Chains A and B, each alone.
Chain A
Amino acid sequence: MELLIQRLIDGTSNGFLYGAVALALVLIYRSTGLMNFAQGEMAMFSTFVVWKLADERLGFGLALAIAIPAGIVFAFLLGAVLERAVIRPFSGGNPLTLLIVTLGMFLAINALAGYIFTTDTERLDSPFPSGGLSLGGVTITYLEMGTVVVLLVVALLIRQLFMGTKLGLGLRAAAMNPSSSRLAGIDVGRMMMIGWGLASAIGAIAAILVAPVVYVSTNMMAALLLYGFAAAVVGGFDSPFGALVGGVLVGLIQSLASGYLPFIGTQLQLATAFAVILLVLLIRPQGLFGRLPVERV
């Protein structure tokens, strides 16, 4: 019983991280109709910025309370600049072209991070106290608790932004119907930049939260991105709420399947993500919370 609860806790906190990556993917998909392969690498790069600012030996030794917000602001700017400089010139064209552009960004950012920072594995302190609460045989670490709380707050803020502000209205309008928005006086280009910036910042938050576990390295986000894709597919590519729920579902499936299905064991853990993607695409391609687009003929 304790083991089951422990697995549920493991799965949920991992799931929120997958959900956060999925949330970033969904924001970009919603604002530009594009799947961003470089999402993970953008987050990785921003995490390296945090590490560089905070590390006492190889960096500037700033407090995490300064380094982390600075890293997130950097991530926002990075996303906005990439949208303007790299994505915009190709927008409106073939989606395959854009897909390849983001793949190219993936490789470029990865190589650049190794060149600018380091190809070594580095440690970033957790923003939360180390250790955790033990109840009976079950342990929940402060990092796990903090991760869930932070990401829930982020999700609520995003919801509030989209649903409760004029900027959010503009963002939604620009994504849904760019040409009408333009006629209504909305600066669509600016909205796209903000959309990318937001997504990049959320990705960075997820990466900073996962860094104490997986450490900071140029390939820290590779597997997380895969689970993020799975979460986004499960939740529906156009639903921010679905992204988080999808993430938690994928985290739970992964943790329970590897714990209780002997043939999966731990060797096929990654494969569970593939299986989830395939199943959902077969049975409910729009995902649990996604909307099926209606096309007027």
Chain B
Amino acid sequence: MTSISRMRLFAAAALLSLGVTACGGSAALTGASGAQSSGSGDPALAECPDNGTVGLTDTTIKLGVSQPLSGPLVAVGGGFVVGMNAYFNYVNGNGGVKGPDGKQRKIELVAKDDQYVATKTKANVSALINEDKVFALLGLFGTSGNLAARPLLAQECVPSLFATSGAPELGNPDYPWGGPAGSISYLLEARASGEYLKSVNPNAKVAILYQDDDLGRAYLQGFKKGIEGSNISIVKTESFESTDPDVGNQITSLAATGADTFYDIAIGLQALQALNHVHASGWKPQIIQAAQVGLSLLKKLEPGAGDGLIMAGTSYDADDPDNADLPGIKLFLDWLKKTPGGEKILPSTATAGWTAAMFMTWAIENAETMDRAGVMRAAHNMDFTGPNFYLPGIKLVTGPDDHYLIEGVVQQKLDRKAGKLIPLGEVQDFNGANPYEKITG
């Protein structure tokens, strides 16, 4: 082989292998449409197979979850499952969950790894339903994974509750088995940010950075809805891909507008990069940050960056020692310590799993019939008032026509010196005023 052709071979192999990784972000959303749906909010009306009590014995109930337990998001998925185990340990320690038939059952959790790949999520859901024979799924990770699994859930009439995703699509009434989600809808959070901006700066000029996918577009649509009827103008939007190594070029373009407000619709690391670049550029807008970065991550910003940014919040910070004595958090921290893997992780990484398990237990306890349709109906008629992490004033309510559970936020301001998010006012409550809408962007 000559060295030129060898060079070509190498280069071709390089393109091929790196191309594969570069495509990782665009998980398929196909398969979500064209599924059968009941066309009604009441799951009991669907043409369901006769399988409503699969996964139940007189003493046990089997539940399933799919989360990234290896790969780049292992910290997220791992913490989530530990949190779930902690809550179920707590329930099982008290004898188990008591269903409407009066029987107390211990909860068995089957956790599968999807590496945040939608096709694997779908395969896991299929295996959990058909091989492990779980009663229900909870805390399914990621928007694309949830949408990929949705047709299966509709076909088999298996509840998949409190998913780890804020996709507004999970409140779609045509797919009653796939909701409600365990996070606030992206669209609603952005709408709340828009309405807040309207109230404090009705003539704002906004520059927006957004992730070019369903999440980013849901945020954009919600923000536009929030600022409707004001003088606020969006002077420039720049997008990025979740696989981009850096977002510096976009910030250069946005900073050149000199806008007085910057809306950072980015997740995790890329959100930090954007905030660091804004800080370094000398541009000093009021920053609104999409609530896709935790406080623990915001503390990793460069000194001075992100100070004073505004971010919508729904819950207390479980890492903050000042909150450790709140009833919901105390119980959580006690059981987290007793759960294998619990002492190694940051408590905040386990709160979502704990919460999903808590809501699931509530739905089983409050079902009218001890079968899948009964639990599903309970999840669509929730009014949760037990100890939890959510900020006071946020209602945890669903209804037959309202498949969104968390529908309130408190705007918070980041104080870098104190390392805290300081609440700026009362809860913006949207309960019942947040109908399903399609993302059209």
Residues of A within 8 A of B (CB): 2-3, 6-7, 10, 14, 33, 35, 37, 95-96, 99, 103, 114, 118-123, 126, 130-132, 134, 137, 139, 141, 212-215, 217-219, 222-227, 229, 233, 237, 254-255, 258-259, 265-267, 269-270, 274, 277-278, 281, 285-286, 292-293, 295
5 A–B contact pairs at CB < 8 A?
A: A103-B17, A137-B256, A213-B246, A233-B11, A267-B241
Residues from chain B with a CB closer than 8 A to the CB of A14 are: 246, 248
> Can you name the residue of chain A whose Cβ is closest to the Cβ of B346?
A120
- Would you list the 9 A-B pairs with minimal beta carbon distance, nearest first? A223-B245, A35-B10, A123-B300, A3-B256, A226-B18, A229-B14, A119-B74, A141-B280, A293-B3
A137 to B240, CA, bound (A): 24
- Contact among A233, A270, A295 with B2 in the assembled complex (CB-CB below 8 Å): A295
A285 contacts B75, CB within 8 Å?
no
- Contact among A33, A130, A215, A259 with B272 in the assembled complex (CB-CB below 8 Å): A215
- Contact among B7, B10, B252, B273 with A213 in the assembled complex (CB-CB below 8 Å): B273
B249 contacts A269, CB within 8 Å?
yes
Secondary structure of the B contact surface, majority rule: helix
A3 contacts B75, CB within 8 Å?
no
B72 contacts A218, CB within 8 Å?
yes
> Can you name the residue of chain B whose Cβ is closest to the Cβ of A122?
B300
> Among residues 28 to 78 in chain B, which have CB atoms less than 8 Å away from a CB atom of chain A?
72, 74-75
A214 contacts B4, CB within 8 Å?
no
Q: How many residues of B contact A (CB 8 A)?
A: 49
B437 within 8 A of A: no
A267 to B212, CA, bound (A): 8
- Contact among A222, A237, A259, A277 with B15 in the assembled complex (CB-CB below 8 Å): A277
* Most chain B beta-carbon neighbours within 10 Å: one of A14, A134, A215, A277: A215
Using A121-B269, A121-B297, A254-B249 as known contacts, say yes or no to A285 and B4 having CB atoms under 8 A apart.
Answer: yes
- Contact among A10, A120, A266 with B75 in the assembled complex (CB-CB below 8 Å): A120
List 12 additional A-B contacts (Cβ < 8 Å) besides A7-B249, A223-B244, A278-B15.
Answer: A10-B248, A35-B10, A35-B13, A119-B75, A213-B276, A214-B245, A222-B18, A225-B18, A226-B14, A267-B212, A267-B240, A285-B8
A266 to B168, CA, bound (A): 26
B282 contacts A139, CB within 8 Å?
yes
A139 contacts B1, CB within 8 Å?
no
> Among residues 249 to 295 in chain B, which have CB atoms less than 8 Å away from a CB atom of chain A?
249-250, 252-253, 256, 268-269, 272-273, 276, 280-282
> Can you name the residue of chain B whose Cβ is closest to the Cβ of A256?
B249
Residues from chain B with a CB closer than 8 A to the CB of A281 are: 8, 11
* Most chain B beta-carbon neighbours within 10 Å: one of A2, A37, A224, A269: A269
- Contact among A6, A37, A237, A270 with B244 in the assembled complex (CB-CB below 8 Å): A270
Closest CB of chain A to B212's CB: distance in Å?
6
Residues from chain A with a CB closer than 8 A to the CB of B282 are: 134, 139
A6 contacts B256, CB within 8 Å?
yes
B273 contacts A214, CB within 8 Å?
yes
Closest CB of chain A to B159's CB: distance in Å?
31
Residues from chain B with a CB closer than 8 A to the CB of A121 are: 268-269, 272, 297, 300
A37 to B177, CA, bound (A): 45
A139 to B8, CA, bound (A): 39
> Can you name the residue of chain B whose Cβ is closest to the Cβ of A142?
B280
Using A215-B269, A285-B4 as known contacts, say yes or no to A139 and B281 having CB atoms under 8 A apart.
Answer: yes
